[in-house]
Amino acid sequence: MDFMRLQKNNSQAGSPISIHKRSERRLTPELAAYHWAGSAFRQESVYNISSSGLYLQTDERWEPGQVVSLTFQRKGPPEKESPRRIAVQARAVRCGRDGVGLSFELPSGMDLHFWESPLKSASEQTEPEDILSEFRLAEAISFLAQICPSDEDAIRGLLREGLSNYRVMSAIEIVLRAKELVGLSAGVDKVTASSRVILRILQDGSWADTESIQQLWAGLLATACSETGGDDSNLTFVNLFSQLTPGHIRLLAAACTRSPKILTGTGKISSRPVDCTTQELMRFTGLRDVIRIDRDIEFLSDLGLFMRRVKTSFFTAEDAKIAPTTLGLLLYARCNGFRGTPQDFYGVTLTDSHAMAAGA
């Protein structure tokens, strides 16, 4: 490729990048790209963008072929929240009078599809939030295709057409959080997952509307990944977690983090009841209705996540003893992205159990 000739022929700002198949380019007046310039994090204006690249208005003059790290967001101060920004690699192609043309260096299997929504006008689709959403969706599909290559079409169809916009945003957040969790472990490029589990997580988890619950769904997705693949064991936990309301989840989290843990004679982890006042239970659940809280505890017991309580006919502070079962402890560990033994997750040793028994 003769980059000098390419640079000369494309000296006008915003002209198409010709080393890729041409795709429709649109002006993006509110989209900015941050990059490091020495020790400063500099904001530049994105003149136009397409599914293959962009033209960046900047004083920089990167050499053709040089790879640059860019962070896209709406113009303004650097965003701290991940849904409001996206990091992208781009390769410099040419220099214009007022900037540089770059082509995207996307991971294998990541394809962008700008300007294809039939439900939005052309101007709406050039809003920074829509552009960032497409990048995040493409990244999520790319990761899922990596761990579930045999069902890529089903996953792609679900995320691009099968879910409402609201649920797609939640599903994307779950997948990208899971990708981060999986990336923390070794051999990330070798893990696969059961498509039954992944599709079920996308279907049920996409209803989650809070970051804390999305993070727990992400933990389940991450722990569904393994080097052997095809492991449906997490389907049990997905079935259980999908039945829990936010109040149930907060109760389970409180019980799992507060209760004393012990190891049984067979080496399995268990717990002892922890006393909770009525006010504490109200704070955990966000509920003021004591009868509702009582029913929620019974529901968790019915699912096998809490031990059965021996209580009087009236719900009082003295009756508020909760203890997660082995299944409940394991579910909470999986939701936190931990696939090892629950003993390791909770930091329980046989010595601890003997000490606790001696002090009982």
- Residue 44 pLDDT > 90, yes or no? yes
- Residue 102 pLDDT > 60, yes or no? yes
- Residue 313 pLDDT > 70, yes or no? no
- Residue 139 pLDDT > 70, yes or no? yes
DSSP at 104: E
Of 223, 185, 74, 202, nearest in space to 137 by CA: 202
* Nearby residues of 203 by Cβ (< 8 Å), 6 or more positions away: 158
Give 187 or 88, the one with higher predicted confidence.
Answer: 88
Contact call for residues 96 and 11 (beta carbons, < 8 A): yes
End-to-end CA distance of the chain: 77
Residue found under tokens 């916009």: 165
C-alpha to C-alpha distance for 327 and 338, rounded to whole angstroms: 14
Q: Is the pTM of this model over 0.85?
A: no
Query: Which range scores top for mean pLDDT: 185-189, 239-243, 267-271?
Result: 239-243
DSSP string covering 251-269, please? Answer: HHHHHHHHSPEEE-TTS-E
Q: What is the pLDDT of residue 118?
A: 61
Q: What is the pLDDT of residue 18?
A: 38
